[in-house]
């Protein structure tokens, strides 16, 4: 019988980043569930054991910490889960009073403990109610001084997950088939002579040596690649610091078979040569150009 790879329980103070933590784990492949009562956790883990994401990565759940019975209910649920061989991690998130107050004011939310409760009263009461749970946590993360990138790095590191390496996706496409909607940068190679109109090159693609040699004989192509390399060097030097884990660069020509493919292949090779991870995709290479 298959079981979930692990169960990460996310709890802590309201406003400390529980929903953000859940999204981070969901991006890493976990089956994510928000605001789950603790008594339902064992049943959920059992049901999801056959789910591919849960079996490969695990289940991540934000547990609503409400009621006097909450600590006991959660402890019993964890025991049930671990009894069937599923490792559990309890992540407790907290932040300073000043930071929590600022976050509430920015989002204009009231504290979830109830109407008529001031923000600072709600924070104080919640700290007291969750103090026992905090001491039982596998890890406690203070998010007061974290930006999004810092939070992601800290959470994944403490859970023993290696960060995904920054990846540059280089894709080729044909304008006549529509532009990619998810690219960060797009370059047009339609100013170059089209190999499609050279009879012996028409059935080939930009992956073939003959097409590359043809394009390499065009001075404008060399000038373009030189400027493109300089631009990408500048962008990539700073892009990793944004916290994003990938950059999508799209190169287009008329049909997406010759010029864009050749340039995308060369650009991917240039970026790989700097030590960065690349992935290449030729969306329209198998579509006939007319």
Cα–Cα distance, 273 to 16 (Å, whole number): 41
Q: At what angle do helices 219-239 and 209-216 cross, to 10 degrees?
A: 100
Residue 203 has a pLDDT of 94
Q: What is the pTM of this model?
A: 0.60
Tokens representing 66? 């409400």
Residue 267 has a pLDDT of 97
* End-to-end CA, the chain: 54
DSSP track, 27-67: HTT-EEEEEE-GGGHHHHHHHHTTSHHHHHT-EEEEEP--S
Please state the length of the chain.
290
Question: What CA dihedral angle connects 11, 148, 159 and 133, to 10 degrees?
Answer: -20
- Alpha helices per DSSP H over 108-244: 119-136, 148-158, 209-216, 219-239
Of 19, 95, 76, 85, give the one whose Cα is nearest residue 58: 85
Q: What count of Cα atoms within 13 Å lies in the side-chain half-sphere of residue 21? A: 34
Cα–Cα distance, 207 to 210 (Å, whole number): 9
Name 279's bridge partners. Answer: 169
Q: Is 241 helix (H, G, I), strand (E, B) or coil?
A: helix
**Positions of CATH 3.40.50.300 in the chain:** 6-158
Tens of pLDDT along the chain (290 residues) come to 466 778 999 999 988 999 999 999 998 888 899 988 888 888 888 888 777 777 778 889 998 666 556 777 888 888 988 888 888 999 999 999 999 888 888 877 777 776 677 888 888 988 888 888 888 899 999 999 888 878 888 888 888 876 667 789 999 999 999 999 889 999 999 999 999 999 999 999 999 999 999 999 999 999 999 999 999 999 988 876 666 778 999 999 999 999 999 999 999 999 999 888 899 999 999 876 55
Cα–Cα distance, 37 to 289 (Å, whole number): 57
CATH class of the 6-158 domain in this structure = alpha beta
Taking CA atoms, 44 is separated from 4, 32, 38, 40, 47, in Å, by 10, 11, 10, 6, 5
């Amino acid at each position: 019988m298959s079981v979930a790879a692990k169960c990460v329980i996310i709890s802590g103070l309201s406003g400390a980043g529980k929903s953000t933590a859940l999204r981070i784990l969901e991006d890493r492949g976990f089956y994510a569930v928000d605001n789950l009562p603790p008594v339902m956790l064992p049943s959920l883990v059992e049901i999801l054991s056959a789910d591919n994401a849960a079996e490969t990565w695990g289940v991540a759940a934000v547990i609503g910490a409400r009621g006097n019975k909450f600590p006991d209910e959660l402890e019993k649920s964890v025991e049930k889960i671990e009894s069937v061989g599923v490792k559990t991690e309890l992540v407790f998130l907290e932040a300073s009073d000043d930071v929590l107050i600022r976050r509430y004011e920015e989002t204009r939310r009231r504290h979830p403990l109830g109407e008529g409760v001031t923000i600072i009263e709600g924070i104080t009461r919640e700290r007291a109610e969750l103090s026992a749970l905090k001491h039982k946590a596998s890890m406690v993360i203070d998010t007061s001084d974290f930006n999004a990138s810092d939070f992601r790095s800290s959470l994944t590191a403490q859970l023993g997950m290696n960060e995904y390496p920054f990846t540059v996706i280089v894709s080729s496409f044909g304008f006549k088939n529509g532009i990619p909607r998810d690219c960060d940068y797009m370059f047009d190679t339609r100013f170059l002579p089209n190999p499609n109109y050279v009879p012996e090159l028409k059935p080939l693609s930009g992956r073939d040596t003959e097409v590359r040699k043809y394009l390499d004989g065009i001075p404008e192509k060399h000038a373009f690649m030189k400027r493109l390399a300089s631009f990408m060097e500048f962008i990539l030097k700073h892009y990793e610091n944004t916290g994003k884990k990938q950059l999508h660069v799209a190169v287009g020509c008329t049909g997406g078979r010759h010029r864009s493919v050749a340039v995308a292949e060369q650009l991917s090779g240039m970026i790989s040569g700097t030590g960065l991870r690349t992935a290449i995709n030729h969306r329209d290479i198998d579509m006939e150009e007319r």
